[in-house]
Homo-oligomer: A and B are copies of this chain.
Amino acid sequence: MSDQTLFTLIREGDTITILDQTRLPFETVTRTLDCIEDVETAIKTMQVRGAPLIGITAAYGVAMALGEAACDSLVVDAVDTMLATRPTAVNLKHAMRRMHQRLLRSRLDQRQNAAWQEADAMFYEDVNANRAIGQHGVTLLKEIYERTGKPVRVMTHCNAGWLATVAWGTALAPVYLALEQNIPVEVWVSETRPRNQGLLTAWELSRAGIPHTLIADNAAGALIANGQVDCVLVGADRIAANGDTANKVGTYLKALAAHAAGVPFWVAAPINTFDTSCDTGKDIPIEERDGDEVRTVQGENGSAHIADTDMRVFNPAFDVTPASLITGFINERGIVLADKLEEHMEHAEVV
């Protein structure tokens, strides 16, 4: 049985229980969060991470902040607290706008219930959206398998698996669906320095019994250039109206290599990862994180200090891949080629 039946977050009454992803893959530690401050810490410290999961967890954070009667300013404060946790993933922004709109439409004494309901709705929508992304995306893997007759060699970056969502994942959803459909897939897993989220991907794939190989981020170019990759599948934190895509730092380098080698480069993300208020990638705010993430490496047996605290570090958490390097987008409605995106956006109701 594969992992797609597992959930990263469980609501129980007015608390949620999460997997602490800063302890994975070494230890499976759960944490129960029962106030907005807990949720704030969990998102900022990346106990909870992944663009879709951040948005939903924050929605529960808002619910936790509301008393039996919640005035407008309490709602706005809760939403603002959650919005300030991380800047790049737009799913958070969309989730907070949705909570805000729903709550302002509700009677004061109904808002607490409404908040939990709306967060629950997002939870289930995420599961369904990701399953649908998997179903659309697996057709791409199937086509490669039918053409080559060999296991499909997928390269991914960071973790866009079920750990980054409520369940299924985005970029890995097609891989889990391939497992269900007996399409053999092998995954190249990039370490993803500085936070090593590739190890989360390896942990997921290992539990699901999907063959995978770990590489240093630096090795991705050689693999792609040498014909050892059939397609690249990544998630996204925010997609501008023109298709420029912010995702974990290092994604752009893989896209350059894929483009140079004629290897398809697909972005798998739910519709609410689009942000039409950003015309291009230049409008997407890029989070810069603490230099200690680069100066140290977390391991099973503790952390290794690779550089002194006085060494200057620049640590952007994301980069922007221009639409011109992207083959297309896989979302819950289907697959859109990057060069048809504008047309598609005109006809789609994008949040």
**Chain A contacts to B: CB under 8 angstroms:** 188, 191-194, 196, 199, 202, 206, 211-223, 225, 248-250, 252-253, 256-257, 260, 286, 291, 294-307, 311-316, 318-320
Contacts and interface: CB of A to CB of B under 8 A. Distances in A.
A197 to B, nearest CB: 11
Given A220-B253, A260-B256, A316-B222, A215 B294 contact: yes
A219 B319 contact: yes
B202 A311 contact: yes
A314 B213 contact: yes
A221 B281 CA distance: 14
Given A214-B307, A216-B294, A221 B315 contact: no
A295 B202 CA distance: 12
Given A191-B306, A217-B250, 5 more contacts: A213-B312, A218-B250, A219-B249, A222-B319, A297-B299
B302 A304 contact: yes
A194 B306 CA distance: 12
11 contacts: A213-B313, A214-B313, A216-B294, A219-B249, A219-B250, A222-B252, A225-B320, A253-B253, A253-B256, A301-B304, A302-B302
B286 A212 contact: no
Contacts of A253: 218, 220-221, 253, 256-257
